[in-house]
Amino acid sequence: MLDASMLLHRDSLNHLAGLAAAGGLENLVIATSLAQMAQQPDELVSRMRPFLGIRRRDIDIAALRRLVPALVDGVSRFSAAETDRPSMPPEFALAGRDMAVAEVLYEEWLFLTTQSWLFAKLRTTFDRMIDAGAGALQMSRAQFEKLVRRTVKKPAGPLSPNDKALAAAKWFAVSGPAVWAVLEPITGTAGTILSSMFLLCDP
């Protein structure tokens, strides 16, 4: 899944635009709430920039207006309604600081912890998830890749659902049922808490 920072930061946006032009967005997903917000790029900036703490100079508003709507239409969407946990906990509303932003944060966390990967340009989203009560096991890139490869039983070759998008991200995390068996002996945490955890790569 693509975090909002991947759309807002000019460097990752340009990288994603290049992937889109080359038909390289396969297997990527975006939160439905973020896709809806992104249809109005100025609203995307006004709501998400304060939340992410992204610098104005790192946002190319002209590129956002030109690229984001078409880019968002080119990837699959994920909604909280697709899971058995559709109600947003109050902690996520507080961490999001704005209900529209909180919905994005919650859908990104739900996708991460029930399904797969989350790619981000900035670490802020992961910190907000932790603020909302999620647990993160942070490790170096080498440790992260070693553990994930062991979990998914893939000793070589592409590691993520879309390694091209992974190259555009600075921060990324993985979670879901596939990694719980690996996390459990490390944390000794009960399953209900474990299901909120994710592995966070420290580049």
Give the tens place of pLDDT for each residue, 18-59.
Answer: 998 888 888 899 999 999 999 999 999 999 999 999 999 999
Residue 101's CB: how many other CB atoms inside 10 A?
A: 23
Half-sphere exposure of residue 112, counting CA atoms within 13 Å on the CB side? 27
Mean pLDDT calculated for residue range 95-111: 93
| Lowest-pLDDT range of 87-101, 118-132, 156-170 | 156-170
**115 vs 32, more confident:** 32
pLDDT at residue 189, rounded to an integer: 46
Task: List the chain domain ranges.
Answer: 4-202
Give yes or no for residue 135 having a pLDDT over 80. Answer: yes
* Model pTM score: 0.87
The helix/strand/coil state of 2 is strand
pLDDT at 52: 95
Question: Are 116 and 174 a contacting pair, CB within 8 Å?
Answer: yes
